[in-house]
Amino acid sequence: MPDRTVAPPFVDAVNFNLQLQPYQKYTLKNGVKVYAIDAGTEDVLQIEWVFDAGNWQEEKNLQAAVTNHLLKNGTGSKSAYEINEYFDYYGAYLNRNCYAETATISLHCLTKHIKELLPAVKEIIAGSTMPQKEMEIAVQNMKQKLDVNLKKSSFVAGRLIDVYLFGEMHPYGRFSRHEDFDRLTREDLLSFYETYYRNGSLKIFIAGRLPEHIDQLLDACFGDLPNAAVKNRNFSIDPAAQKKYEVINDDKNNQGSIRIARPFFNRHHPDFLKCQVLNVVFGGYFGSRLMANVREEKGYTYGIHSYLLNNRYDNGWMISTEAGREVSAAAIAEVYREMAILREEPVDAEELLLVKNFMMGSILGDLDGPFHIIGRWKNIVLNDLDNAFFERSIQNIKTITAADLQEMANKYLHPEAFYELTVV
């Protein structure tokens, strides 16, 4: 029996031996890959159907997003109301989302109801009708939401900085306007749906307390979908020539939305993992350099963060904050000052250990439960990374040195490489 009067030894999180639970992999008869994590203490599960049907594939702006939104708004045999009622009856939650490269349908439900729910999802994937009335309602709602968001400096800043980084014709830089909604037709949506959902490329990710023979259940419902390979489209980056912008969105606004960003590389680059650690030191957590300076010391903002964009192809490094209009320029100057310090001075041992412990602790939290675990695997699979990527990430955190971070800072943290935007 342990001696309760003696405190257990303290162990730094950096010394934890973190392992990512391996997935089970099934291949349906049509070639669809299923990645499964059977874990958890509750009889619930999450399934996500991932299609190569994001903005990257669309011929018209908003074609992907509106198609995805209308997937559960009517099939050949059920109205939007009947679809929602069906899933509500079983206490299930069905959602759909559209991203830059992919689009998803996700289902959360009790394990015992999966047999009744899978055919309903199959009907949505193979039999959506994109009713004209539902399209008109959805477009009207999206226009109204856009009008509201355009009054927010943070929303405008997010749109414009992507344009400066990638160009307005690039899928990552494209943004919506009223006229884009007006140009869309039901035929555009049906064409996109037919190509990228009914006959598109599909992967399935499932996690939770899985029922017996889940592979057979999925095969029976989805094994006859065409699952045709989607031709990858290539886009060139067309960054803005000018590097500094100030946009007046509201003359009466006393707050400025600041975005500072540079083009960057994706996870396949050999420096990516080292730069992830450097980013945490710089602005990636509450104790970062930027937070200590711009928030705690100067009081210019409630929060400032830096992060690497989560794109599959072209990428970026972003600094984001909201500051008072009169101190926005000073806040930007402090960001560049912190870049200079990281280039010129090595991170001390105590700060580096703190960052390593924070990163390892965050990963440990992300491994709590089957939904988080499958999320990690989904990120690896969809970015075409090998199964050892997680282990390399852990080893990188454990072994990175102050000299490595200073080298990365001298390679990538130069003000002249960054676009600078303030929207007030």
Model pLDDT, residue 286: 96
Model pLDDT, residue 368: 87
Helix 370-382 and helix 349-366, axial crossing angle in degrees, nearest 10: 110
- CA distances for 207 relative to 34, 204, 296, angstroms: 11, 10, 41
Of 263, 247, 241, 286, the C-alpha closest to 154 is: 247
Model pLDDT, residue 323: 96
What does the alpha-carbon distance between residue 20 and residue 39 come to, in Å, rounded to a whole number? Answer: 12
Model pLDDT, residue 349: 97
Give 364-387 pLDDT, tens digit per residue: 988 989 999 999 999 999 999 999
The answer to whether the CB of 368 falls within 8 A of the CB of 20 is no
Q: Where in the chain is the domain with CATH 3.30.830.10?
A: 24-222, 244-423
The answer to whether the CB of 166 falls within 8 A of the CB of 314 is yes
- Which CATH number is associated with domain 24-222? 3.30.830.10
Model pLDDT, residue 408: 98
Q: Is the dihedral of CA 322, 328, 329, 330 positive or negative?
A: negative
Model pLDDT, residue 105: 98
Strand order from edge to edge, sheet including 44-51: 24-27, 33-38, 202-208, 44-51, 103-110, 93-98
Helix 186-193 and helix 132-149, axial crossing angle in degrees, nearest 10: 100
Strand order from edge to edge, sheet including 315-324: 244-247, 419-423, 255-264, 315-324, 304-308
Q: Is the dihedral of CA 347, 268, 365, 99 positive or negative?
A: positive
What does the alpha-carbon distance between residue 27 and residue 33 come to, in Å, rounded to a whole number? Answer: 5
**Tokens coding 344:** 């010129």
Model pLDDT, residue 209: 97
Task: Looking at the structure, give the CATH architecture of the domain made up of residues 244-423.
Answer: 2-Layer Sandwich (3.30)
What does the alpha-carbon distance between residue 164 and residue 238 come to, in Å, rounded to a whole number? Answer: 8
Backbone angles phi, psi at 423, to 5 degrees: -115, 125
Model pLDDT, residue 279: 98
What does the alpha-carbon distance between residue 174 and residue 124 come to, in Å, rounded to a whole number? Answer: 28
Model pLDDT, residue 3: 82
Which portions of the chain are predicted below pLDDT 70? none
Model pLDDT, residue 231: 85
User: Strand 255-264 relative to strand 315-324: parallel, antiparallel, unpaired?
Assistant: antiparallel
Model pLDDT, residue 151: 94
Neighbouring CB atoms inside 10 A of 9's CB total 5
Q: Is the dihedral of CA 54, 201, 372, 19 positive or negative?
A: negative
- CA distances for 263 relative to 79, 101, 227, 308, angstroms: 45, 18, 34, 10
Partners of residue 74 on adjacent β-strands? 79
Model pLDDT, residue 16: 84
Neighbouring CB atoms inside 10 A of 100's CB total 20
